[in-house]
Amino acid sequence: MQKRWLAMLVWFMSALVLAGNCFAGHGDKRPMKKAILIAAFGTSVSEAQQALDQVDVMVRKAFPGVDVRWAYTSKIIRKKLAQQGKIFDSPETALAKLMDDGYTHVAVLPLHTIPGREFHELSQNAHLFGQMADGFQSILVAYPLLSSHEDMTQVAKAMVQHIPKDRKADEAVVLMGHGTEHHPADAIYSAMNQVFQEVDRNVFVATVEGYPTLDDVLPKLREQKVKTVYLMPFMAVAGDHARNDMAGAEPDSWKSILEKNGYNVKVILKGTAEYPEVVDVWVKHLQSAYSHFE
């Protein structure tokens, strides 16, 4: 009799241990709850907000029923907006809130153009969020805009298509990219310059903080005997760089430098995120990250 009790007790204990292994531990049995986090540099220029609104609409349309949240990576921009009563989270705060709200799977869409320093920081921190005990079961960061030759061609064609129709073939277009001291990523601007010229030989890419610079493009404009130059931002948003460094009235703006060199300058203040065919490329990258959850 005592033996039978002992056998039952052992059976009961081992059943508990087994059950414990199945249902406790890493919370693997939580129902799947998926979210998208869009991470942008951010902008304090209210006209530039349009670009981000366009991305929001297109992402929600591509992922019906999925929760979409935003984060701004720039501390300065977040501070400026907070003074106007507009509160934006950093990606890290946004991820902590998603974790608190019980999300299990998160796909992050970085609205970066190239995989530079900001992209790597975001990826690194997102990865750490994926390692926390009882944290996300999966967190994936989508590729930035220019991540393959196919992306570059698609973006170049989309941008060229949106150059105003009254521009003549012998008029040049100079695109202002950001550029970076992260040299492997900065090389993408040189590649992109080449890809643009395969689509339209009078379209050039120059950068504010990397290579090529405007000085590298000036001799090429002279060579092509160009008289008119269109200036367009090659950044997600037509923010501070586009409005001041590119189109500003100061003598060191690209507009002023080109005018001093005798060119007739026309400015287009539209970020790349305002072109639906460009946003399609970001959405495609988000879809390929998100598809790992299915």
Question: Annotated catalytic sites, by residue?
Answer: 178
Neighbours of 239 (CB within 10 A): 23
**Residues 177, 241: Cα–Cα separation, whole Å:** 9
User: Closest Cα partner for 204 from 221, 184, 186?
Assistant: 221
User: Closest Cα partner for 143 from 100, 107, 183?
Assistant: 107
> How many Cα atoms sit within 13 Å of 51 on the Cβ side?
26
Q: 111-133 burial by CB neighbour count: b if 16+ within 10 A, else e?
A: bbbbbbebbeebbebbeebbeee
**Residues 8, 2: Cα–Cα separation, whole Å:** 10
**Residues 268, 229: Cα–Cα separation, whole Å:** 11
